[in-house]
Amino acid sequence: MRLTAHALTCQRGGRIVFAGLDFSIAAGEAVQVTGPNGAGKSSLLRLVAGLVRIESGRLALEGGDPEASIGEHCHYCGHQDAFKGSLTVAENLAFWTAYLGGGGQDPQTAMDRLGIGHLAALPAGYLSAGQRRRLALARLLTVARPVWLLDEPTAALDVASQKVLAGIMAEHVAAGGLLLAATHGPLGLPTRELAIGRAT
């Protein structure tokens, strides 16, 4: 599988955020999108996920399911966690796992891996910022998708959880997955850098 962008241009709010962006990510590769605030890192991930329109240029995914969109091959973990505060941690994960098609690990195994297994019965509204982030990341394990788009995935995570996440990302890449992560800091695994844009 390979994700290729050719002369990709992104416009938001009537302004060009980045233009003429070329890159290629192969199966088993981890790419770190870097750039100053406002450079368009989040916009790029949202664009690949199909949540922002491509202004011009081309994005292609070779080797995927021809019946599915590129976005349907992707896990997109952005800044906002769409959880219902009154539902428990387990219920929120069950909802997203079913909604996104499942096919991955058992939810309890995923919660245990991310260190939130003991919080399964707690309403998600009571979670700390780091615990919410870990719940958001649990769907990476419960739903099998080849392309992971992670926006500042280590935000709010303590050092131990950052290491757990690094292990999860490394396993995904070792299994032939693709990873595109926007971050200002190290991810804890070998990555190639894709530096974009200028602050706007």
Binding site for ligand ATP (CB under 6 A): 12-13, 17, 35, 37-43, 182, 200
CB of 67 to ligand ATP, least distance (A): 30
Least Cα distance to 1 among 24, 18, 26 occurs for 26
Q: Which amino acid, 20? A: G
CB of 33 to ligand ATP, least distance (A): 8
Query: Which DSSP category does 104 fall into?
Result: S
CB of 24 to ligand ATP, least distance (A): 21
Whichever of 21 and 39 has its CB closer to ligand ATP, that residue is: 39
Whichever of 35 and 177 has its CB closer to ligand ATP, that residue is: 35
Least Cα distance to 110 among 85, 84, 75, 152 occurs for 75
Rounded to whole angstroms, the Cα distance separating 26 from 3 reads 6
Whichever of 55 and 91 has its CB closer to ligand ATP, that residue is: 55
Sign of the alpha-carbon dihedral angle for 65, 68, 71, 73? negative
CB of 98 to ligand ATP, least distance (A): 29
Least Cα distance to 183 among 29, 75, 17, 33 occurs for 33
Query: Closest residue (Cβ) to ligand ATP?
Result: 13
Tokens of 150: 């992670």
Whichever of 37 and 67 has its CB closer to ligand ATP, that residue is: 37
